[in-house]
Amino acid sequence: MVEGLNIPFYHIPANKEIREQVEQKQLELLKEHDIDLIILVRYMQISTPKFVAANSKKIINIHHSFLPAFIGARPYDRAYDRGVKLIGATAHFVTNDWDEGPIIEQDIARVDHRSDPIN
């Protein structure tokens, strides 16, 4: 999708065992391309304080729940288990406090008893 727009794309597999090496490569690419905004979507990794500090107020996470109610992984499963009838998404700035950075925007949708975390 980005090739037609002449936008560079890099895939860097990440996990907690190689987090520092991955973030070093990411920092190099961010500098090389003079990036001023980072948006995390389904990244599912916890950034190190070093990475967050190097990009202060430049990282936005699109979180698939209505924060602060269900922080972390599998929020829709936990919301379903609690019988929640309003689900949502939250865009927030990334800080060293996981999923607790300042909220930028939120939106919600109503669900009922016929809904489950899969559909």
Residues 26-43 as b or e (16 or more Cβ within 10 Å = b): beeebeeeeeeebeeeee
pLDDT tens digits for range 23-53: 999 999 999 999 999 998 878 788 999 999 9
Q: Once rounded to an integer, what is the mean pLDDT over residues 87-96?
A: 89
C-alpha distances in angstroms, 103 versus 1, 8, 60, 118?
29, 29, 9, 26
What local confidence, expressed as pLDDT, does residue 77 receive? 82
Annotated catalytic residues are 99
Residue 85 has pLDDT above 60, yes or no: yes
pLDDT tens digits for range 45-78: 889 999 999 998 999 998 877 766 777 777 778 8
Structure tokens at 69: 């109610």
CATH node for 3-110? 3.40.50.170
Helix (H) or strand (E) holding 92: strand 86-93
Residue 119 has pLDDT above 60, yes or no: no
- Sequence spans of domains, the chain: 3-110
